[in-house]
A and B are shown apart, each in its own frame.
Chain A
Amino acid sequence: MSGLSVGIDIGGTFTDVICVGGADTHIMKVPSTRADPSQAVQAALDRLAAEHGVPAASIERFCHGTTVATNAVIERKGARVGLIATEGFRDIIEIGRQMRRQMYDLRLKPETPGWLAPGARRVEVRERISAKGDIVQPLDEDSMRAAVERLLAEGVDAIAVSLLFAFLNPVHERRIRDHIAAVAPHVAVSLSSEVDPAFREYERTVVTALDAYVKPRVDRYLGQMADHLAASDVPASLQIMQSRGGLAAAEVARERPVRLFLSGPAAGVLGGSAVGALAGFENLITIDVGGTSSDIALVERGRTLLRADMNVDGYPVRVPTVDVTSLGAGGGSIAWADSGGGLRVGPHSAGAEPGPACYAAGGAEPTVTDASLTLGYLDPDYFAGGSLKLDRGLAETAIRERIAAPLAFGLVEAALGIHRVVNAQMADGIRLVSVKRGFDAREFVLVPLGGGGGIHATALAEELEIDRVLVPRFPGVLSAAGLLAAPIEHERSCAYHAPVADASVAAIREACDALDRGAAALMEREHVQGLTVHRRYAADMAYVGQSHLIEVGLDFEADDPLDALYRDFEAAHERINGHATGAPAKIVNLRAIHRADLPGLDFGGRAGAEPGRSLKAHREVHFAGLPAAVRTEIHDRGRIAAGETIAGPAIIEQDDTTTLLPPGWTARVVSGAALLLERARAS
């Protein structure tokens, strides 16, 4: 490969950059520039040129993960949205499903995003489509014109149109879009039949309104970014990571912005998946231990698990998404002694400010990070590459006063206890995530992403009876790396309500042909000449009478595609729910997925380190299960040579993470430059 590939993941604090394809892989973190994120991108390009001699003109691929869509929602800085609904249904977005999330709170808060389009910006049109997709009441043009006029008078800059049963018959929604385009071409329009063509009007309306809400901002952002790259002489076109873990050309992503909410986390999981693939592992559990939470995802047989919906800021977003589950336990989780004499960790977190007690920023509550420091896992002078000095005295004081004294423990016992409790929570979280999806965690390799996972990974593995942990070479910039490992992917789906028994392969094929045309049109704009485009099909299915859907692959090449579909559905139901009933099943949605694989991630030929040079210091470290602190070797990750084996107890440090290697574990560098930690099986 002659050209270089650059992945840039813009997070809240740091913009992570990776550049591969040359003699060396370059990584860097530059501070994010929230007001104008392209400044951070420019800074990164400048540093690549100045420090590594990478000219902008040599960049052939430029992939980007962004939080712009999520931030627009969390900060309430999206468009002024107007909502058009079927007559009688304008309040759907505010009524929602009437459930509350905080079951025991007496002070209730709205659960629905009525603020996206308050009553004054919600209008109705006279029309009605039936549950069979027939037109019961044709669209009344006068009511349409009046509705649009009223929204324009309210000064909206985006309009969401969500009509009942538009997913079965989009003709009225399309007519309204044409009308808006004619009278107000500057206004962005999102149709429910295009954003999320599936039943349940509240969920469809929310995702359509969110699409409208973020569209102008995402559009502006990606437009500026593309212009910026062109102005910087980067020949590569801009590619954006979507929530389901595939890349899309910026000009396509701009039209489907609601698919970008999990852009960053999806890239991280793909990065983990790529590292696993390079090392020869295809069943992975990734865990990204952050300050306030930990994100868990599964990769099965090399494929990242997806789900049909997600939450953004607590609101349902029904688009296919990498299946990431967030647990409320992280490095900043606060440990406390409850009034019954129990040791609890979380759910409260010290966050980034004031942060753990050891940050010396005013935090007095002991956190998991304080316990890590107390136990000797972290070097106070080499945290995040030395960018933040930690105060061990403050950490110990907090643990002694808040935990050890009230529970009558010693300091070390208390710190070990904090780790045990938080590790049990994370392990139980991982277990629940895996069993809910029908998998046995023991058969997976654990991959810590991000900087915080290395300290917990082996303990979690032991708790889960996992024998192998794979620590990526650059866990701190894995999201950026994942961008370069992703395929280009587009999916199209449609509602298709039919019992399997009544379905015909020809009719399904026909529906999929229509989806293929839509996906192919998107793919055409990706400039993927020379790459093979793989087509896959899937059906969302349930037993007749059930409403929880399971996605099942649809293979038209099978001898009897419908029979195969039904059997695969039953197998999936058995795996996920523990039983299959043999009862009639139905198809609810159809989906076509077109995918073009790009060259796999390659961290480049790294200069070979010499064996025996990695030991850099010793420290007193307390490991769980050992009666006292042991003098422990501290190794420099960058100096561990291929083929060399480090035996625990040891600690392996690098700029972006610290890896704990307890007794009974070994570590060695494997293919893809990752570090494989293995547990000796008790004989």
Chain B
Amino acid sequence: MSGDRFDPITLEVIRNRLDVIAEEMQTTLLKSSCSPIVKEGLDASASLFTLDGTTLAQACAIPIHLATLIPSVAEIRRVFPPETMQDGDIYLLNDPYCGGTHLPDIAVVIPVFARGRLLALAATMTHHQDVGGLAAGSVPTNATEIFQEGLRIPAIRWARGGAFDPMITAILRQNVRIPDIFMGDLHAQVAACRIACIRLQQTAEKYGHNSLMSAFGLLIERAETMTRAALREIPPGTYRHVDWLDNDGIELDRRLRVEVAVTVAGGDIHFDLTGTSPQARGPVNCVPSGSLAAACFAVRAVTDPSIPNNGGCFRPISLTLPEGSLVNPRSPAPVNARSATIKRITGCMLSALATVLPERVPAPSAGELLVMAFGGRRRDGAPFVTGELLGGGSGAGRGFDGVDAIETDATNCMNLPAEAMELEAPIRIRRWSLCADSGGAGEFRGGLGQLKEYEILDDLDGALSFSHRGERHVVAASGMAGGGDGAKARSVIHRRDGSTVEIPSKMVTELSPGDRVIIETAGGAGWGPPARRSGEALAADIANGKVSTAEARRLDDGA
């Protein structure tokens, strides 16, 4: 291959190659990671970047990772200009105020050299199980400063020319609760980046260094052209939506507003979050990378998912994020619980677009991913930290019911099998079922939430630290086109002494043997008037226990 003229066929072949490289990185990352949140939650991603920091290819098992490595790579490039990078360097970053997302997400970036010349950057991000801080699992819902959330890593160079800096390793190990697992996952990230180095070197051998670099540029332009073409098909205008977060985990009786105005015009799309609440004391604040991920997801979902997924797709997207607000906080505001905010932002963006795309966008989903962490020591002194991620029901749409207990919008995490949790921690799962009547009523019913009951067992040295980060405990998913709201979430601790404590959406507390926690996640919203639901569908819901007879009677009376 000579010169930098590429025919569309060669370009397509190279594009496919880049996607497969990113996928191979991702596979390495997921398979060789240790922490349950990566294994079961797939909370990790891999990307290739051009030297100017544009995404070239990315593999992410969950949309919340879309585009989130962009600001991390930008910061690493700023501190360590590419021309100073050497083969064998490894860069790290996790500080949200320097381009990260939240502290558990650590970015690892490795420069890719081919025949001694810098070709690209390989980057991975993994949600680590623990990075120190106030609570085991590093997602303390009661944090009021980022300093409580764990170890902050600005853009640093961990290895130079293949040699690790042992002092950095020592600092990292000293600041996390389970250093072996932490280092194992970090090395899995490095291994994934190294795979990219080998594969890109082979690709450069085949097409030539300069030609490959110019192909990168063309591929990015192509994706931009396609995204703009798809955006032009949406009727131009400004569309708005408002939804709420329960609270910030500190001021428990204050709801937080998320307001989005989407303006579509001339192949561009702009998301203005003016009107969103000021930054919160609690950790639901979300640095700008989160809103960018939400916007990328929303655009992809309402346009054409077959558009190649690279930085060109992001170019038509712009955002207004008021400084000092929930979506653009100032340091040192805490940010660990920002995934809930990203989910709500995504929901608002989609619901705003539902105004002009009623066929494509359904009623709101529970939009909730309950995050729980359990940590402590067994009687023999062995430490355990385990987590759980639980979704609610999805929203119904014109012509279809919502789905029960399923992940929606920006996240796509697996739950933890009851047997896995019982093997890992002194906890017994006593019940795990769908919550009858939790789906929003409607001609098409919202999906049901799920109920899970945890009992703390005796094999515990001291207390078990427990954190619960819920949503939709206060404000339900609101029905569309006459449909009913989904049921709200509810979580209650039943202490061994018979007392009960209702969890106000977010809580960090201690549990003792004999205590039980019963959680119910929220339901998805319904679509269309409930009276229009077919008798057959309602009868099946009753027979299968999705709707109780009492609820059916209530719906009947309403009709």
Contacts and interface: CB of A to CB of B under 8 A. Distances in A.
A424 B12 contact: yes
* Interface size bracket, A side: 35 or more
Interface string A459-473: 000000000000000
Question: Of residues B62, B230, B431, B453, which shows the largest number of chain A Cβ atoms within 10 Å of its Cβ?
Answer: B431
Contacts of A420: 9, 13
Nearest to B61: A103
A547 B36 contact: yes
B362 interface: yes
A432 B301 contact: no
Given A90-B433, A99-B412, A340-B226, A108 B406 contact: yes
Contact of A108 (B188, B297, B402): B402
B17 A577 contact: no
A168 to B, nearest CB: 9
A164 B430 CA distance: 11
A417 interface: yes
Given A94-B434, A95-B432, A424-B17, A578 B194 contact: yes
Contacts of B24: 432, 435-436
B153 interface: no
Contacts of B15: 342
Interface string B18-42: 0010011001101111111001101
Contact of A95 (B8, B12, B405, B420): B405
B12 A165 contact: no
A573 B7 CA distance: 40
Given A88-B430, A579-B32, A106 B16 contact: no
A405 interface: no
* Interface size bracket, B side: 35 or more
Question: Of residues B15, B20, B400, which shows the largest number of chain A Cβ atoms within 10 Å of its Cβ?
Answer: B20
Given A417-B9, A579-B191, A98 B413 contact: yes
A92 B463 CA distance: 30
A407 interface: yes
Interface stretch (A67-75, A195-203, A502-510): A195-203
Contact of A340 (B225, B412, B450): B225
A192 to B, nearest CB: 11
Nearest to A421: B12
Given A95-B434, A421-B13, A583-B180, A131 B422 contact: yes
A619 B545 CA distance: 67
B96 interface: no
Interface in A93-121: 94-100, 103-111, 118-120
Interface stretch (B78-86, B325-333, B390-398): B390-398
A174 interface: no
B39 A547 contact: yes
Contacts of B195: 435, 578
B316 to A, nearest CB: 13
A106 B360 contact: yes
A342 B13 CA distance: 10
Contacts of B305: 104-105
A636 interface: no
A342 B394 contact: no
A74 to B, nearest CB: 21
B300 A119 contact: no
A200 B394 CA distance: 24
A341 B225 contact: yes
Interface string A561-586: 00000000000010011110101000
Question: Of residues B223, B297, B405, which shows the largest number of chain A Cβ atoms within 10 Å of its Cβ?
Answer: B405
A130 B428 contact: yes
Contacts of B431: 88-89
B414 interface: yes
Contacts of B226: 338-340
Interface string B289-304: 0000000010011100
A394 to B, nearest CB: 23
Nearest to B60: A103
A577 B8 contact: no
B546 interface: yes
Contact of B39 (A92, A546, A573): A546
B346 to A, nearest CB: 11
A99 B32 contact: no
A343 interface: yes
B534 interface: no
Contact of B31 (A88, A120, A164, A577): A577
B229 interface: yes
Contacts of A90: 433
A108 B365 CA distance: 11
Given A165-B419, A342-B8, A581 B432 contact: no
Nearest to B129: A545
A24 interface: no
A504 B188 CA distance: 31
B20 A547 contact: no
A309 B150 CA distance: 38
Nearest to A168: B419
A100 B391 CA distance: 11
A616 to B, nearest CB: 33
B350 interface: yes
Contacts of B400: 107
A237 interface: no
B403 interface: yes
Interface string A130-144: 110000100000000
Contact of B406 (A100, A543, A581): A100
Question: Of residues B8, B62, B63, B405, which shows the largest number of chain A Cβ atoms within 10 Å of its Cβ?
Answer: B8
Interface in B30-74: 30-36, 39-40, 42, 62-63
Contacts of A91: 432-434, 450
Interface string A16-31: 0000000000000000
Given A106-B301, A340-B222, A342-B8, A199 B423 contact: yes
Contacts of B16: 421, 424-425, 428
Interface string B427-452: 01011111000000000000100100
Given A88-B431, A95-B432, A106 B361 contact: yes
26 contacts: A88-B431, A89-B433, A91-B432, A95-B404, A95-B405, A97-B414, A103-B63, A104-B301, A106-B302, A106-B350, A106-B360, A108-B403, A119-B543, A120-B545, A199-B417, A199-B423, A203-B417, A342-B12, A416-B9, A421-B12, A424-B12, A425-B16, A428-B16, A428-B17, A579-B187, A583-B184
Given A103-B62, A340-B223, 10 more contacts: A88-B453, A95-B432, A99-B42, A106-B302, A338-B226, A340-B225, A340-B226, A424-B12, A578-B32, A579-B188
Closest 4 CB pairs of A and B: A119-B544, A88-B431, A340-B222, A131-B422
